[in-house]
Amino acid sequence: MSSYRVAQAGAVGAPFEIVEREVPRPGPGQVRIGVDACGICHSDAMFVNGALPDLRFPLVPGHEIAGRIEEVGEGTGSRWKAGDRVTVGWFGGSCHHCTACRQGDYIVCERLKVPGWAYDGGFGEQVIAPADALARIPDGLSAADAGPMACAGVTTYNGLRRSSARPGDLVAVLGLGGLGHLGVRFATAMGFETVAIARGADKADFAKQLGAHHYIDSTAGTPVADALQSLGGAQVVLATAANSAAITATVDGLAHRGELVVVGADAEPLGLHPTQLLMRGRVVRGHPSGTAQDIQDTMEFCVLQGIRPMIETMPLEHANEAYGKMLAGKARFRMVLAHTEAGRAH
């Protein structure tokens, strides 16, 4: 194969166009991956719209990549070989030299190599990626299901397992979208008394299908914080909704020493008052996805617990349609570009 296809944005905010490129060779410490599937994350809009520094156009986004290693560059060691099924996520490699990396905290690397930003992402049939970004896909997990685990999955799974909650604690998941529907599944599987929070009474049955023990309709009239306190107060709120007002509305629903874990990104600031935190010893923190090992842990947990993302697949040629459904909030619940039959298999 001498060429491959990508869906690229030629300029800031431009629609995707399918173009052919020459197949590249991996450099030292890199692998070339034949992409089977790639999830579409809301964060991809930050790249396409030029909202991040040092972006280069034409741009190929996509950081929920699943596929097979087709070529291994020099210096990657013996861990990886051609044919291995792997994912690459928001964590697309680290610099290994900054203070965070020297402390072993690679996900907050000062020069984190996010696919679509540091190098071409997964909206294409081939990807060159650093070997330290690879997570091995376990048997029993299809490429289309594995891709979203490299960002949406690991973000919610890791956000919960690194939180202060313990089995039996009341944990609330704000939002039932691409991240939130997985957050509810993970929370119940981890043994938390799980509350789903979303807009509208019509989502109550869906929340229960996901395993939630309680459902709070944020439009019902009762403040979300009061509803949480009526259940005893949440030890943790995992805020997956990209809505700062909705996130802020949960803070007074936290128990004493409760923790708000923010994973949904909104451009508007949170409207917190210091006394909301001080008087009850509450904590607010951001949670940034997870490393390649965290992604592998997430996928293995999914196989163990029978958890799969709810996805809709489309071919690469329909990248604009799939991206548009994500932007419009019409995805149920993760759009995935499936480039091959292996990617479409469930």
Cα radius of gyration (the chain): 20
Say yes or no: 113 and 37 in one domain: yes
With 90 as the cut, is the pLDDT of residue 251 above it? yes
61 neighbors 8 (Cβ within 8 angstroms) = no
The pLDDT value recorded for residue 279 is 95
With 90 as the cut, is the pLDDT of residue 92 above it? yes
Greater model confidence, 16 or 341: 16
Say yes or no: 56 and 188 in one domain: no
- Percent of the chain residues past pLDDT 90, beyond the cut: 96
CB contact set of 232 (below 8 Å; sequence gap of 6+) = 170, 255
179 neighbors 150 (Cβ within 8 angstroms) = no
Q: Where are the beta strands (DSSP E) in 11-136?
A: 16-22, 30-39, 65-72, 85-88, 126-130, 135-136
Say yes or no: 79 and 113 in one domain: yes
The pLDDT value recorded for residue 342 is 74
Number of domains making up the chain? 2
The pLDDT value recorded for residue 77 is 85
With 60 as the cut, is the pLDDT of residue 281 above it? yes
CB contact set of 279 (below 8 Å; sequence gap of 6+) = none
For residue 134, give both structure tokens.
Answer: 């690879």
Say yes or no: 140 and 12 in one domain: yes
Per residue in 94-131, pLDDT tens?
999 999 999 999 999 999 999 999 999 999 999 999 99
Q: Is residue 104 part of a domain?
A: yes
Single residue among 286, 304, 319 that ends a domain in this structure? 286
Say yes or no: 78 and 227 in one domain: no
Q: In what order do the strands lie in the sheet with 283-286?
A: 214-217, 193-198, 170-174, 234-239, 254-262, 283-286
Q: Is residue 327 part of a domain?
A: yes
The pLDDT value recorded for residue 345 is 58
CATH of the domain at 317: 3.90.180.10
Q: Containing domain of residue 279, as a range? A: 163-286
Which is nearest to 5 in space by CA: 144, 130, 128, 123? 123
Average of pLDDT values for 7-28?
97
For residue 246, give both structure tokens.
Answer: 């909705």
Is residue 344 helix, strand or coil?
helix
Q: Is residue 275 part of a domain?
A: yes
CATH of the domain at 198: 3.40.50.720
Mean pLDDT score across all residues of the chain: 96
The pLDDT value recorded for residue 343 is 80
Lookup result for tokens 């019509």:
202
Phi, psi of 271 (to 5 degrees): -100, 65
Average of pLDDT values for 144-167?
98
CB contact set of 119 (below 8 Å; sequence gap of 6+) = 92, 113, 127, 128, 129
CA neighbours closer than 13 Å in the CB half-sphere of residue 289: 28
Q: Taking the alpha carbons of 203, 155, 310, 121 in that order, is the dihedral positive or negative? A: positive
With 70 as the cut, is the pLDDT of residue 346 above it? no
Angle between helix axes 180-189 and 292-305 (nearest 10 degrees) is 70
Per residue in 293-309, pLDDT tens?
999 999 999 999 999 99
Q: Is residue 247 part of a domain?
A: yes
The pLDDT value recorded for residue 4 is 97
Per residue in 160-186, pLDDT tens?
999 999 999 999 999 999 999 999 999
